[in-house]
Homo-oligomer: A and B are copies of this chain.
Amino acid sequence: MRNQFEKQLQQLNEDLISMGALCKEAVADAMTALLYSDKQARQKAFLTEYEIDHKERDIESLCMKLLLQQQPVARDLRNISAALKMISDMERIGDQASDIADITKYLENSELTQHVHIQQMAEAAMGMLTDSIEAFVKKDLLLARKVMKQDDVVDELFNQVKSELITAIAEESDQGEICIDMVMVAKYFERIADHVVNIAEWVEYSVTGEHKAHE
Q: Is A173 an interface residue (CB 8 A)?
A: yes
Interface secondary structure of A, over-half rule = helix
Whether B166 pairs with A166 at a CB distance below 8 angstroms is no
Q: Which residues of B contact A68 (CB under 8 A)?
A: 68
Other-chain residue from B162, B169, B177 in contact with A173 (beta carbon distance below 8 A): B169
A167 to B173 CA separation, bound complex (whole angstroms): 7
Q: Is A163 an interface residue (CB 8 A)?
A: yes
Task: Identify which of A9-17, A19-27, A113-121, A180-188 touches chain B.
Answer: A180-188
Q: Which residues of B contact A169 (CB under 8 A)?
A: 166, 169-170, 173, 176
Query: Which 5 pairs from chain A and chain B are nearest by CB?
Result: A166-B176, A170-B173, A169-B169, A162-B180, A170-B170
Q: How large is the interface on A (under 10, 10 to 19, 20 to 34, 35 or more residues)?
A: 10 to 19
Which A residues, 147 to 192, have Cβ-Cβ distances below 8 Å to chain B? Answer: 162-163, 165-167, 169-170, 173, 176-177, 179-180, 183-184, 187
Q: Is A137 an interface residue (CB 8 A)?
A: no
Q: Is A47 an interface residue (CB 8 A)?
A: no
| Most-contacted residue by chain B among A170, A179, A184 (CB, 10 A) | A170
